């Protein structure tokens, strides 16, 4: 026979369970990641301050960290293979893009060039002669590469000259725009770019805390963002991606969060707070979106990757 006391204990436990379940559901809605992976270290499959990543069509994640490695993982973070860039001093590459042919476009930042690999890590060719410079065709610190439908390369860079340079598919210099400054159309540390099906180029102008939109000729179409941590405000946007839902996902280094925008710059919400727990980020550098529409955010200073959906 169950005594009154036992009954009340059962009730109390039941209540606790309910509360726990309810709060669990709440967490899931408010930003609990679906998956967290990554071990800090330099061994194959481990991450040492990962800074940039991109998914290919098979949902393989290509990832570069503070070493000279480019590592390939499956969607769930299982290590597949790796290779090294030709030279290394302090930092690894800080820009990775998969083009429509599945090639990997690597902004080899500290060697002033863009490297183009096939998916297996064979170096196909490079843009830029590897000499630092401000003349057309040379780079300061290249940060990201995107490709338009015609196969032209758009390379963003910072250093003495914060600009975007355009190269033909065979690497010939075509044009450039930008310049160092905070006027519209100028850049301070353009960290990343994304290009949509209308061939609009979205630039994460990180130190100006804004997103600038250009057409392929460099004509400024739109600017939004100011420094702050409110909705629509930005704090060092370090990466930008376009999801299958045509929304823009911006990774904010300074606000430790991912913010979702419409293509017109309307904020649709944020994910992540500062910290080291799951669902929290510490100076994230980049994000990548897989074919399911899930965001894998590169939680750089926590040396890990978190996957979630917004």
Partner 1 sequence: MTSIWNYITDRVTVGRPIWLLLLPIVLPPLVYFSMRSLSGLGTFRKNVAILLRATVVILIVCALAEVQAVRKNDKLATIFAVDVSESIPSDMRRNTLRYVTEEGKKRRKEDLAGVVVFGRNASVESPPAPTEPNLSLGIESSINAQYTDLASAIKLALATFPEDSARRIVLISDGNENRGNALEQASAAARLGVQIDVLPIEYVYDKEVLVEKISIPPDVKKGDMVNINVVIRASEPTTGTLQIFQKDSDNRPIPAPGNETPVPITLERGVNVFTLKQKITETNFYTFTAEFVPTKGSGDQRSINNVAQGFTYARGTAQVLLIEGTRDEHAELVKALREKKIDVKVLVAPDVDGSSGGFGGDVLPDDLGQLQPYDTVILGNVPKEALSEQQQKLLEANVHDMGAGLIMLGGPKSFGAGGWQNSPIEKAMPVDMQIKAMKVQGKSALVMLMHASEIAEGNYWMKVIAMEALKTLSSYDYAGMNHWEGQEAWLFTPQAIGNNKASMLKKIDRMQPGDMPAFDPLFNLSIAGLRKIPDAMTKHIVVISDGDPAPPSRGVLNTLIQNKITVTTVIVAAHGNDPGALNSMRDIATKTKGRFYNVTNPKALPRIYQKEARLISRPLIFEQNPPWVPVVKYATEPITGLVGGLPPISGYVQTQLKESDLVEVPIISPLPAAGQVNPILAHWNYGLGRSVAFTSDAGRRWTTAWRDWENYAAFWSQVVRWSMRPVDNKNLSLTVRREEGKLKIVVDALDKDNQFLNFLQMQASVLSPDLQAQRVSLVQVAPGRYEGTVENAEASGNYFVNLGYGAPDGTKGIVTSGISVPYSDEYRELKSNPTTLETISSLTNGKVLSWKRRPDGEIDLKRTLEESDSFRRDAYTLPPRGFSPLWPNLLVLASLVFLGDVAVRRVAPDFARMRRTLIDTIKRMRGEEVEERVEYMEKLQGRKAEVNEALERSKFAARFDAPTIEGSDQPLDEPLLTGETAQTQRPATATPPKPTKAPTQNPADSYTNRLLQAKKKVWEERDKKQDE
- Point out which residues bind partner 1 (CB under 8 A): 89-91, 110, 132, 140-141, 158-160, 182, 188-189, 206-207, 235-236, 238, 253-254, 256, 274, 282-283, 301
Tokens, residue 42: 């330099």
Least spacing, CB of residue 160 vs partner 1, in Å = 5
- By beta-carbon proximity to partner 1, the closer residue of 71 and 209 is 209
Least spacing, CB of residue 162 vs partner 1, in Å = 9
Q: Give the sign of the dihedral formed by CA 275, CA 277, CA 282, CA 288.
A: negative
- By beta-carbon proximity to partner 1, the closer residue of 55 and 112 is 112
- By beta-carbon proximity to partner 1, the closer residue of 236 and 294 is 236
Least spacing, CB of residue 258 vs partner 1, in Å = 15
- By beta-carbon proximity to partner 1, the closer residue of 160 and 215 is 160
- By beta-carbon proximity to partner 1, the closer residue of 119 and 207 is 207
Phi, psi of 104 (to 5 degrees): -105, 120
Least spacing, CB of residue 33 vs partner 1, in Å = 19
- By beta-carbon proximity to partner 1, the closer residue of 59 and 91 is 91
| 8 A C-beta contact, residue 268 and residue 34 | no
Q: What Rg do the C-alpha atoms of the chain give, in angstroms?
A: 21
In 23-147, which ranges are E strands? Answer: 35-37, 52-55, 61-64, 69-73, 79-84, 95-98, 104-108, 113-117, 123-127, 141-147
Least spacing, CB of residue 252 vs partner 1, in Å = 11
Least spacing, CB of residue 207 vs partner 1, in Å = 4
For residues 203 and 265, what is the distance between their CA atoms, to the nearest angstrom?
12
| 8 A C-beta contact, residue 305 and residue 49 | no
DSSP letter at 152?
A: -
């Amino acid at each position: 026979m169950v005594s009154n006391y036992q009954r009340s204990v059962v009730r109390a436990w039941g209540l606790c369970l309910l509360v726990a379940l309810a709060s669990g559901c709440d967490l899931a809605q408010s930003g609990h990641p679906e998956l967290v992976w990554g071990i800090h270290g330099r061994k194959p499959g481990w991450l040492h301050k990962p800074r940039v990543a991109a998914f290919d069509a098979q949902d393989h994640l290509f990832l570069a960290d503070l070493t000279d490695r480019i590592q390939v993982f499956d969607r769930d973070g299982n290590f597949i293979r790796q290779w090294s860039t030709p030279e290394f001093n302090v930092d690894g590459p800080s820009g990775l893009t998969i083009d429509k042919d599945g090639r990997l476009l690597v902004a080899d930042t500290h060697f002033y060039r863009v490297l183009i690999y096939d998916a297996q890590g064979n170096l196909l060719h490079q843009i830029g002669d590897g000499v630092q410079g401000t003349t057309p065709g040379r780079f300061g610190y290249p940060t990201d590469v995107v490709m338009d439908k015609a196969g032209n390369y758009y390379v963003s860079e910072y250093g003495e000259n914060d600009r975007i340079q355009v190269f033909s598919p065979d690497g010939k210099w075509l044009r450039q725009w930008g310049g160092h400054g905070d006027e519209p159309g100028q850049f301070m540390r353009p960290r990343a770019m994304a290009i949509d099906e209308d061939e609009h180029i979205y630039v994460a102008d990180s130190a100006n805390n804004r997103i600038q939109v250009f057409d392929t000729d460099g004509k400024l179409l739109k600017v939004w963002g100011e420094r702050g941590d409110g909705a629509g405000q930005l704090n060092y946007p370090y990466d930008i991606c376009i999801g299958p839902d045509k929304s823009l996902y911006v990774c904010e280094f300074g606000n430790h969060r991912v913010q979702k925008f419409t293509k017109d710059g309307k904020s649709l919400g944020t994910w992540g707070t500062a910290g080291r727990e799951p669902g929290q980020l510490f100076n994230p550098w980049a994000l990548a979106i897989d074919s399911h529409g899930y965001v894998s955010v590169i939680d750089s200073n926590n040396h890990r990757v978190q996957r979630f959906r917004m």
